[in-house]
Amino acid sequence: MLNNIRKNKSFVSIVNLIGQIFRFLPPNLITTISLIVVFFSGYYYYLGLTYIGAVILAISGFLDLVDGSVAKYTKRTTVLGGFLDSTFDRIGDGIILLGIGLSYNLTLCFIIMIGAYLISYMRAKGEALGVKVMGIGIGERAERILIIFVFSFINLEIGLYVLLVVVYITVFTRFYYISKELKTKT
């Protein structure tokens, strides 16, 4: 859902501006810094300091936007960069959910993490099989991070249940969509 913003001209202009500002940094370095920053976010969530964890999570998310912006602006997009970005995103998701889980409810966070990884896996597998999956479902990574961020300031425990519902609606939506699309290909 939020991925559709990428097509907005104003958003593209902002992304290009960000790429221009940070063009002196190698994109893969920014990706790595974003991963390091997310470890601090997970640690503060573990300590139960949700406001600090959320602010650091937002910084990591901003850096995750910057790496792609710089790569596109400087024409340094690479297959390796895309691989690092996706891999580090999965590690970051796990770190955040582990930190929250150790502070609140580890079992619930583990179930959410399985769903979040299924969402990513189904996109990768679906697209490898020729099915365009981006934008299918209500809980892609940007939405999941936004839910964690917002509920960090409201009530993170309630936010985890909202996240659980959103994640599994997305899992089932993608499963149904990909299955339907693959039936038409055989």
| Average pLDDT over every residue of 22-43 | 95
Residue 97, pLDDT score: 98
Residue 18, pLDDT score: 84
Predicted model pTM: 0.91
The pLDDT confidence band at residue 28, using thresholds 50, 70 and 90, is: very high
Domain extent listing, the chain: 2-185
Domain 2-185 CATH superfamily: CDP-alcohol phosphotransferase transmembrane (TM) domain (1.20.120.1760)
Residue 2, pLDDT score: 60
Annotated catalytic residue, options 64, 67, 89, 93:
89
Q: Write the CB contacts of 142 (distance below 8 Å, at least 6 apart in sequence).
A: 1, 2, 3
pLDDT in tens, 85-136: 999 999 999 999 999 999 999 999 999 999 999 999 999 999 999 999 988 9
User: For the ranges 7-11, 61-65, 85-89, 128-132, which has the lowest average pLDDT?
Assistant: 7-11
The pLDDT confidence band at residue 29, using thresholds 50, 70 and 90, is: very high
Q: Which two tokens stand for residue 50?
A: 């949700």
| Known active-site residue 89 | yes
Q: Of 16-25, 30-39, 69-78, which one has max mean pLDDT?
A: 30-39
Look up residue 7 and give its DSSP letter: G
DSSP state letters, 117-181:
HHHHHHHHHHHHTT---TT-SS--HHHHHHHHHHHHHH-HHHHHHHHHHHHHHHHHHHHHHHHHH
